[in-house]
């Protein structure tokens, strides 16, 4: 292995060497191992010279330090099991079983799962909606302060910024109110691995990212989770966990990471993360500058859409919303006020224009664009929207606004999750306590969490989402969900 060599180069050189593998994996890098044999060439295990992620001291330690330098953090860990694993480890390191936690109600399901695993009592911050687009607004720092004063036993606060739709909160102010009260701030920035890459610009200490968007999370939060795979050139499942300051017990954090990550982390995934970091060092600045240009051209082209509306910070910045920025890579296309649903728009883009979107809801569809999109992709999206816009009609009847009504928590999530349960038809569940999650996917934000009292309005919202053709996890094909019959007497009661 030579100095400066990437993990991928080291693996490739090793695959060409005369070493014979008397070790795992079972494919033995053999060309005879089936149709995927080519992919196995660099798929090794922890052999001499290739370090061990669970006690990194060599090539993997260097790769993680490189990532930490790029993001300007104190310490960065590679995750081979997505942000999911980072969120679980972060929440569990920041709390002890039975603790209380404050979390935004629009957190990803992994935060809820961590609450179950640690038997946490969750208190919620309920984000408002940005009504023009039917998407969640950012998190209001003052309200976080008020909630922490009301629930002072909370050990940690978890917020998502940016959201799935790209809404960025004022993390600096949130960090101030959280830290003033001696709590830990965890920012789920799974969708923001491309924000605030100061190292890549060579402007260390600058608080603007190369996309021009501030990334306070990396500087001010205690724990930040990034899915590299969501917005950067890296393989699916690759993610990072960043740590700053001394509020988090790093020994416990490492213990959780080693419990929750595979004991055989994939070298292919780790090489992909190292390669992504190097790519950003070399090409990040130019790529993000090009992305900004493509975005501006796209905005000019779609400026005169008659009915469809593309979400932009400029449209909402004058309003009293909490967001501080809107990621340009999340193109939210609103169909509100037209005779088309978001799902129909997404279907038309697929069938007629061969454009596959990230997700579709009742009143909008979401296209994700990254630094790897060239002018052609942006142009095709703009042309398709102009084409569809030309043929749709204005609809005066307003489509139902997204509901943000949630059930009152009667039990902790762990109590409800471990309870004896029965499966009931949706219409029979009002008045019962849910034993499980009901989660539209994507984006993976639970409508119902275990322990919450179900009511008529929630059932209507679940039915509305299912009718729109969205995938709603937790509801069986026959339309049944799990409700609590009796709490298990061996479950933690805090």
H or E stretch including 473?
strand 472-473
Stretches 31-39, 77-85, 196-204, 291-299: which one binds ligand PLP (CB under 6 A)? 77-85
Do the Cβ atoms of 72 and 235 come closer than 8 Å? no
Residue from 73, 78, 108, 382 touching ligand PLP (CB under 6 A): that is 108
Alpha carbons within 13 A on the beta-carbon side of 307 = 23
Query: Closest Cα to residue 411, out of 444, 439, 437, 435?
Result: 435
Q: Residue 174: exposed, middle, or buried by beta-carbon count in 10 A (0-12, 13-18, 19+)?
A: buried
Q: Does 190 bind ligand PLP (CB under 6 A)?
A: yes
Closer CB to ligand PLP, 443 or 450, in the complex = 443
- Which runs of E-coded beta strand occur in 189-288? 223-227, 239-243
Both tokens assigned to 415: 């109590």
CB of 241 to ligand PLP, least distance (A): 11
The answer to whether residue 95 forms part of the interface with ligand PLP (CB under 6 A) is no
Which whole-number Å values give the CA distances from 471 to 129, 306, 466, in the listed order?
21, 30, 7
Report if residue 192 touches ligand PLP, rule: CB under 6 A: no
Pick the stretch among 120-128, 132-140, 188-196, 359-367 that binds ligand PLP (CB under 6 A).
Answer: 188-196
CA 485, CA 415: separation in Å to the nearest integer? 12
Distance, CA of 149 to CA of 216 (rounded, Å): 23
When the beta carbons of 87 and 365 are compared against ligand PLP, the nearer one is: 87
Site string for ligand PLP, 225-244 (x = CB under 6 A): --x-----------x-----
> Whose Cβ is closer to ligand PLP: residue 14's or residue 112's?
112
C-alpha to C-alpha distance for 357 and 382, rounded to whole angstroms: 13
CB of 108 to ligand PLP, least distance (A): 3
Q: Do the Cβ atoms of 80 and 134 come closer than 8 Å?
A: no
> What residues numbered 147-176 form the site for ligand PLP, per CB under 6 A?
160, 164
DSSP labels, 103-146 = EETT--HHHHHHHHHTTPEEEEE-PPEETTTTEE----HHHHHH
CA distance 470 to 359: 9
Residue nearer to ligand PLP on the CB measure, 227 or 465: 227
For ligand PLP, the binding residue among 72, 82, 342, 450 (CB under 6 A) is 82
**Most distant CA pair in the chain, distance:** 72
| CA-based R_g, the chain, Å | 23
Which residue is listed with tokens 């009292």?
453
Q: Which residue of 68, 73, 76, 84 would you call a contact of ligand PLP, by CB under 6 A? A: 84
Q: How far is the CB of 477 from ligand PLP (least distance, A)?
A: 23
Rounded CA-CA distance 325/312 in Å is 9
Whichever of 159 and 344 has its CB closer to ligand PLP, that residue is 159
Per-residue binding letters, 26-65, with ligand PLP (x by CB under 6 A) = ----------------------------------------
Among residues 50 and 112, whose Cβ is nearest to ligand PLP?
112
Distance (Å, rounded) from C-alpha 71 to C-alpha 149? 32
Give the binding-site size for ligand PLP (rule: CB under 6 A). Answer: 15
In angstroms, the CA 277 to CA 232 distance is 9
Shortest distance (Å) from residue 287 CB to ligand PLP: 21
**Which CB atom, from 101 or from 239, has the smaller least distance to ligand PLP?**
239
Q: Which of 282, 288, 223 is nearest to 257 (CA)?
A: 223
Question: Which range binds ligand PLP by CB under 6 A, 37-45, 184-192, 250-258, 404-412?
Answer: 184-192
Residue whose CB is less far from ligand PLP, 188 or 327: 188
Beta carbon nearer to ligand PLP, 227 or 324: 227
Instruction: Find the binder of ligand PLP among 68, 73, 76, 83 (CB under 6 A).
Output: 83
Select from 21, 444, 469, 479 the one that contacts ligand PLP (CB under 6 A): 444
Question: 227 by DSSP, 3-state: which?
Answer: strand
Q: In this complex, which beta carbon is closest to ligand PLP, that of residue 190 or of residue 369?
A: 190
Q: Which stretch binds ligand PLP (CB under 6 A): 15-23, 44-52, 80-88, 479-487?
A: 80-88
Look-up: residue for tokens 């993000």? Answer: 288
- Cβ 106 to ligand PLP, closest distance in Å? 9
Is there a contact between 448 and 438 (Cβ–Cβ < 8 Å)? yes
Q: How far is the CB of 340 from ligand PLP (least distance, A)?
A: 26
For ligand PLP, the closer of residues 87 and 416 by Cβ is 87
Which residue number places its CB atom closest to ligand PLP? 82
Compute the distance between CA of residue 366 and CA of residue 332 in angstroms, rounded to an integer.
Answer: 5
Torsion of CA 395, 396, 398, 399, to 10 degrees: -20
SS3 41: coil
Between CA 438 and CA 449 the distance in angstroms is: 7
99 or 188: whose CB is closer to ligand PLP?
A: 188
Question: Using CB under 6 A, which of 43, 46, 188, 461 touches ligand PLP?
Answer: 188
Query: Hey, which residues between 110 and 139 contact ligand PLP (CB under 6 A)?
Result: 110
Q: What is the binding site for ligand PLP (CB under 6 A)?
A: 82-84, 87, 108, 110, 160, 164, 188, 190-191, 227, 239, 443-444
């Amino acid at each position: 292995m030579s100095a400066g060599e990437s993990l991928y180069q080291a693996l490739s050189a090793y695959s060409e060497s005369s070493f014979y593998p008397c070790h795992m994996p079972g494919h033995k890098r053999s060309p005879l191992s089936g149709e995927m044999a080519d992919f196995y060439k660099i798929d090794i295990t922890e052999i001499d010279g290739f370090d061990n992620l669970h006690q990194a001291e060599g090539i993997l330690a260097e790769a993680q330090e490189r990532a930490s330098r790029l993001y300007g953090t104190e310490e960065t860990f590679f995750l081979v099991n997505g942000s999911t694993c980072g969120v679980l480890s972060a929440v569990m390191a920041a709390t002890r079983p039975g603790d209380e936690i404050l979390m935004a109600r629009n957190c990803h399901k992994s935060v809820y799962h961590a609450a179950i695993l640690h038997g946490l009592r969750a208190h919620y911050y309920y984000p408002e909606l940005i009504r023009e687009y039917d998407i969640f607004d950012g998190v209001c720092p003052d309200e976080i302060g008020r909630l922490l004063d009301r629930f002072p036993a909370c050990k940690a606060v978890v917020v998502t910024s940016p959201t799935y739709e790209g809404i960025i909160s004022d993390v600096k102010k949130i960090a101030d109110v959280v830290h003033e009260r001696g709590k830990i701030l965890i920012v789920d920035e799974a969708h923001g691995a491309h924000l605030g890459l100061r190292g890549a610009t060579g402007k260390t200490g600058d608080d603007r990212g190369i996309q021009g968007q501030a990334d306070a999370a990396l500087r001010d939060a205690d724990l930040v989770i990034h899915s590299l795979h969501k917005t950067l050139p890296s393989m699916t499942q690759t993610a990072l966990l960043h740590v700053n300051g001394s509020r988090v017990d790093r020994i416990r954090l490492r213990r959780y990471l080693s419990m929750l990550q595979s004991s055989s982390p994939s070298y292919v995934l780790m090489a992909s993360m190292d390669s992504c970091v190097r790519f950003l060092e070399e090409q990040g600045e130019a790529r993000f500058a090009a992305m900004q240009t493509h975005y501006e051209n796209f905005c000019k082209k779609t400026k005169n859409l008659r009915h469809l509306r593309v979400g932009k910070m400029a449209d909402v910045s004058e309003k009293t919303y909490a967001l501080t920025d809107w990621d340009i890579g999340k193109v939210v296309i609103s169909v509100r006020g037209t005779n088309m649903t978001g799902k129909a728009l997404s279907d038309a883009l697929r069938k007629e224009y061969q454009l596959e979107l990230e997700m579709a809801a009742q009143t909008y569809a979401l296209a994700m664009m990254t630094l790897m999109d060239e002018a052609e992709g942006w142009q095709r999206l703009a042309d398709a929207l102009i084409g569809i816009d030309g043929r749709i009609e204005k609809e005066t009847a307003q489509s139902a606004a997204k509901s943000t009504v949630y059930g009152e928590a009667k039990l902790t999530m762990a109590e409800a999750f471990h309870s004896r349960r029965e499966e009931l038809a949706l219409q029979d569940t009002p008045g019962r306590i849910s034993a499980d999650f009901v989660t539209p996917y994507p984006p993976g934000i639970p409508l119902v969490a275990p322990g919450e009292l179900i009511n008529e309005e929630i059932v209507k919202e679940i039915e509305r989402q299912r009718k729109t053709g969205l995938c709603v996890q937790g509801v069986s094909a026959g339309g049944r969900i799990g409700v609590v019959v009796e709490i298990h007497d061996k479950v933690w009661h805090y």
